[in-house]
Amino acid sequence: MRANSLALRLFLSATVWTVLILVATGFVLSSLSRQAVERAFDRRLGIYLKTLIADVASPEIPNDKAGQSIGEPMFDLPLSGWYWQVSGLDANKLEMYASRSLWDGVLPRLQDTDVQPGSDGTRKSYVPGQEEQRLRLIERVIDLGAEGRFLVQVAGDATEIDEESVAFDRTLAMTFGALAVVLLLTTLFQVRFGLAPLKRISESLVAIRSGAAEKLEGTFPVEIAPLARETNALLESNREIVERARTHVGNLAHALKTPISVMVNEANARPDDPLAAKVTEQTGIMRDQVTRHLERARLAARVAVIGTITDVVPVVHSLVRTMEKTHHGKDIAVALDMPDEARFRGERQDLEEMVGNLVDNAFKWSSARVGVEVGLEQPEPGRQVVRVTVDDDGPGLSPSEREQVARRGRRLDETKPGSGLGLSIVVELAALYGGALNLGNSPIGGLRAELVLPAG
């Protein structure tokens, strides 16, 4: 699941970056293309402008004949969008000459705003024309000396620029769209198959935690192989550490119990000696403490083992049958409600010890009914627990009594058999597994014990 989530995040990230890069590149290329089209259009207008200036400056060509050498039929077609105009700027010479295509219209003069100046004294910009046309206009002021100063203007229909830009943008969009699809498919292929080894490792780790495997199996790419080797080495090191801990615990148990037993035997041989009585008392305390801490070390070592899973239903059935035989003198009806898929992530003997104490207590104190219910819950995403609930119809416990019985060695009724260590062992062992034991009131009248443990 985590590998799939990682692959999805990588694919989405690659998709977003691919789209952003292509869009930004598309805007840049579109802008550069339009600028190139404008420059080509301006060069064309510049050629017409120079030809017109040459006609105006030539003494052999009358002003009313200027523009004929341009050779562009569009200047003769009325309202074609291609116009030229020559205007006198001196007060005594304000005559104006224009192309036939301008008909009765007049080209506007460029203002200082949004004007692009040229290196040859020309100025160019967009202006509105006749018939709602949008014109690209270039103009230049020339001084002919005695003949005066003139403003020479040439304008062309800017629709050509817009159409070429739109055509380029359409082709660019289609090309980049196809490129985006190819890149995304390539990215999807790389993410899917490139992360496949990580997915295998993730699934193998799940199998190890569930007890279905002991190490990572299979062949991995050279980039992932070191990770697999180190993981297997870590798992093996963990097993060796736990095994050494178990061995040390056993050795310590033998090393301590033998001297304590010798002291107890020597003290029991002198029943009238006050010192012997004191030794017997203290060695009893020592024995309890050693037993308690050795048991805790043993349980902690077992909990540290990776990949141990226990089915809950067979354990509960076996415990109930055992308790029915043990308490055969009491006619107790047992109600069981357990899903077959319930599994505990831990050792079977630990589950037997915890649930066995709870079921044993229920049989001891119940009058006629005992209920055992097992359920699977998910208190938070990615974490599942198994809840074992044991109910009885006995006298139950007050809140203060429930607090006392969970303490080690505390017994509320000395007439019942036991050492008083049962519930405290359950509490400690459940805590080692990251679980908990909760005591409350049962709906059938007695005590309810809820054991929460990690699910496998």
* pLDDT-flagged residues of the chain (< 50): 1, 408-421
Helix (H, G, I), strand (E, B) or coil at 373: strand
pLDDT (0 to 100) of residue 4: 60
pLDDT (0 to 100) of residue 168: 94
pLDDT (0 to 100) of residue 395: 87
pLDDT (0 to 100) of residue 124: 92
pLDDT (0 to 100) of residue 410: 44
Instruction: State the residue for tokens 């290196």.
Output: 119
Whole-model pTM: value is 0.48
Find, among 42, 38, 39, 35, the residue nearest to 154 by Cα: 42
Pair 55, 84: CB distance under 8 Å: no
pLDDT (0 to 100) of residue 308: 73
pLDDT (0 to 100) of residue 411: 43
Instruction: State the residue for tokens 């915890």.
Output: 354
Find, among 275, 278, 248, 280, the residue nearest to 264 by Cα: 280
Average per-residue pLDDT for the chain: 82
pLDDT (0 to 100) of residue 378: 87
Nearest-5° angle of CA 437, CA 205, CA 216? 140
pLDDT (0 to 100) of residue 192: 75
pLDDT tens digits along 327-381: 877 888 999 999 988 999 888 888 998 999 999 989 988 988 999 999 998 888 8
